[in-house]
Amino acid sequence: MEIHTDNGSKLALVLSEGRRFGRFLVSEMKPKGKIVTPFNVFAAVVLLVAAVLLVIRFTRGLAATTNLSQDFPWGIWIGFDVVTGVAFAGGAYVITFMVYILRLEKYHPIVRITVLNGFLAYVFYAGALLFDLGRPWNVINPIIGNSFGVSSVMFLVAWHFMLYMIAEFIEFSPAAAEWLGWRRVRKLLGSLTLGAVILGITLSTLHQSGLGALFLMAKNKIHPLWYSEFIPILFFVSSIFAGLSMVIVEGTVSQRVFRRQISPEHRAAHDEIIIGLAKVCAGTMYIYFFLKILVFIHGQHWNYINTPMGWWFLVEIVGFVLIPVRLFTQAVRFRNLSLIKVAAVLTLIGIVLNRLNVSIIAFKWYAIEHYVPSWMELEITLGVIVAEILVLRWIVNRMPILREPPGWALDRPEPARKQAFVVKEGERKEWTVTSM
Amino acid sequence: MNRRDFVKTVGGMSVAALGTQNARAEEAAAPKEFVGVLVDTTLCVGCRSCEFACAKVHGFPEPDPSPDVFKEPRQTSTKQWSVVNRFETDKGEMFVKKQCMHCNQPACAAACATKAMLKTEDGPVIWRADKCMGCRFCMLSCPFDVPKFEYDSWIPKIQKCNLCWDRLQEGEKPACAEACPVEAIKFGERRDLIEMARARIAKNPDTYVQEIYGEHDAGGTGYLYLASVPFEQLGFRTDLGTVAYPEYTKDFLYAVPVILTLWPAFLLAVSNATKKDND
């Protein structure tokens, strides 16, 4: 900013700067690609139907749209959207741990996209909790402090969701500042990153396990093969490889969809990143499998194995933990990237199975009429996912998430990144944005 | 890590710590004894006066008076806080009243993030509309599946027996206890009720099974039951154990402040140790 002594010209400058900024925002609001694409049409239909259903849900109660009952108070809006969605969003805390705490610079290129994904996942999937709450206008009660239910795991989870979203936003915010061209704000926000990362990892440890702890009091309602006092630890450990598998799958999709935005260096490094992540997945999955077996033996549950629920348990444990972890191991050894992707997808299915088993399928497995979600619950869930993808695409197409940050933003106190880009400063290219 | 980063991190942590405090299961350390109800199923004749009195006092529609309601055991509902069920047992037909058990350490109250579900110092477990956010965690946690939710309303309430909390404030008995023509429903201090129940068992050891349901089940409940046949035959869950349900989350909640203080310190230390340009 230039310094003007004359007040009049100062005002004129502020005004013209304001107008310029306004025009910039307006132009950024416009779509950047073709509007009528198959995906956009699909998204529009899904969102429209979801909007109508939500009006019905909020005017006529949960019974009008969901199959929830007195016996099944929690359906897929909790079991999938929140409990599974948050496990999938675990990549953000694992990657920030690797990059900012362990300083494994190799993974720096995927920090922003992972943090953005994590942040949006919390906003949308934890946000979808509001659809499920019967009295959502009271959702601020545990926050504003007129009634702290400190003995409640739900209280802990609510606070941690809120604080974690703030931490994630701080971690992501430098990219927004770079987009807006706010240099001093960018510098300030950048200096907050490490603190936000430490806060974020701590909160994640607690609320990933906290989501499991929600089910501890449902002791006599969850099948013994899934209920154990170690649910919190199992949820935490599995969130590590769930999050990383999501990063692998999401990264593969991004490499295609946003190909033009990704620098050749990043593209070349991506394979190594994927192999590294697969190693971490394999390691944590072996630990998880070991814990699962330990809990199983400790609980003396052999008698359940040869029952329908026992076979279902084996499907989860063998089909979607043991097989993918073997695939990860093999794939790392032979540097087979497509095998890693297969393993990651199997792992994600396994996480969906596990979270749905604990929260829905093995919950009151003895009930004569078991809960099955209505098409409207599924449609609204799909709407939440589509909305998240649209917002993600909007941001990635505008802010330096996959792209390199603007030149002025590179002189920040992050040694390795600085080194990496200083060399190329002379031959910087503009990465054009053509997809919407 | 410089001093500013440190201060920022510590600041963030204390906000987080505020959020969780030292969460612990509420201790039942009230100076007075909880009130409760003793139901003697050997006396109950199945007249359902308690059901009708309950509906009347709490403004619910009058229950279906037809004896057909006994065909299948009923659950309480959003319009009926208390129901009487009939069971075929070894000793013939038996009737059992079903409602909130008013646990000494209720799972529902420990589950509640807003203290909408509250164990009062007198003993009744009550629900408060202005606090509840409708998450239904109480329903998930209650070992007796008592809280019921109004799924068909856009301003839903949780419905469950509150042991006539309003009437107790005015020195009256719960409506069901007052309505019972055969004194099968006895209201009083829990300690006295247990004494009374033991005396009845001791006096008529051939009539009663040697157990008071609710004395220890799920950590002890405000509602206590006497019966002449094993409680499984009367539709009771006898697999709940004697541990109070909030105990199941206590270990996790105790670990929270520990992790909240140790984890950031550890992360800061590792982050400093891995710093390359500052040594």
The interface predicted TM-score of the complex, written ipTM, equals 0.86
Helix axis angle, A153-180 to A111-121, nearest 10°: 130
Q: Does some domain include residue B229?
A: yes
pLDDT one-digit tens code per residue, A374-384: 999 999 999 99
Contacts of B83 in chain A (CB under 8 A): none
pLDDT value, residue B9? 57
| Closest Cβ opposite residue A152 in set B111, B153, B248 | B111
Whether B131 maps to a domain, the answer reads yes
Residue B74 lies in a domain: yes
Per-residue model confidence (pLDDT) at position B30 = 47
Q: Could you tell me if residue B102 is inside a domain?
A: yes
Secondary structure class of B159 (helix, strand, coil): strand
| Nearest alpha-carbon partner for B111 in A144, A160, A149 | A149
Same domain, B257 and B184: no
Within this chain, do residues B9 and B116 fall inside the same structural domain, yes or no? no
Q: Find the residue in A nearest to B149 (Cα).
A: A70
Output the pTM of the full model: 0.88
Query: How does DSSP classify residue B115?
Result: S
Name the helix (H) or strand (E) containing A410: none
Please report the pLDDT score of residue A31 as a whole number.
Answer: 76
- How many CB pairs lie under 8 A apart between chains A and B? 217
Of A205, A210, A232, the CB nearest to B263: A205
Of residues A404 and B59, which shows the higher confidence score? B59
Whether B265 and B205 map to the same domain: the answer is no
B10: pLDDT strictly greater than 90:
no
Confidence of residue B3 (pLDDT cuts 50, 70, 90): low
pLDDT of residue B5: 57
The reply to whether B49 and B89 lie within a common domain is yes
Residues B69 and B183 in one domain: yes
Least confident of A16-30, A350-364, B98-112, B181-195: A16-30
Residue B132 backbone dihedrals phi, psi, to 5 degrees:
-65, 135
Within-domain flag for B30:
no
Q: Do B107 and A215 touch (CB under 8 A)?
A: no
B253 lies in some domain? yes
Tell me phi and psi for residue A371, to 5 degrees. -65, 135
Task: Verify that B56 and B142 share a domain, yes or no.
Answer: yes
Number of compact structural domains in chain B:
2
B106 has a chain A CB within 8 A of its CB: no
B153 falls within a domain = yes
B16 and B146 in a single domain? The answer is no
Interface test with B, best of A54, A152, A227 (most B CBs within 10 A): A152
pLDDT at A264: 80
Residues of A in contact with B246 (CB under 8 A): 151, 217
Q: What is the pLDDT of residue A19?
A: 85
Which residues fall within 8 angstroms of residue B266, CB to CB, at 6 or more apart?
A: none
Angstrom distance (rounded) from CA A95 to CA A93: 6
Q: Are residues A153 and B140, on separate chains, in Cβ contact within 8 Å?
A: no
Range of the domain at B147: 35-245
Q: Which of B12, B22, B151 sits opposite A199 (nearest CB)?
A: B12
The answer to whether residues B199 and B258 belong to one domain is no
pLDDT tier at B14, thresholds 50, 70, 90: low
Q: Is the pLDDT of residue B96 over 80?
A: yes
Tokens encoding A251 = 């990264």
- Taking alpha carbons only, the member of A331, A336, A266 closest to residue A105 is A266
Residue B198 lies in a domain: yes
Q: Are residues B127 and B182 in the same domain?
A: yes
B142 plus B192 within the same structural domain: yes
pLDDT, position A403? 83
Q: Amino acid identity of A161?
A: F
Residues of chain A with pLDDT under 70: 1-6, 145-146, 410-436
What is the distance of C-alpha A40 from the center of its chain? 22
B241-264 tens-digit pLDDT: 999 999 999 999 999 999 999 999
Q: Which domains does chain A have, with CATH numbers?
A: 33-405 (1.20.1630.10)
The enclosing domain of B61 has a CATH number of 3.30.70.20
Contact A217 B259 (CB under 8 A): no
- Match 């880009």 to its residue by tokens: A421
Residues B210, B216, B218, B223, CA torsion sign: positive
Answer whether residue B191 shows pLDDT above 50.
yes
> Are B132 and A134 within 8 A, CB to CB?
yes
Higher pLDDT, A257 or B212: B212
Is residue B81 within 8 Å of residue B51, measured between CB atoms?
Answer: no
At residue B1, the pLDDT reads 47
Report whether pLDDT(B24) > 60. Answer: no
Claim to verify: residue B16 and residue B74 sit in the same structural domain:
no
Closest CA to A206 of A290, A78, A90: A90
CA distance B224 to B230: 14
pLDDT of the residue at B278: 52
Same-domain pairing of B14 and B136: no
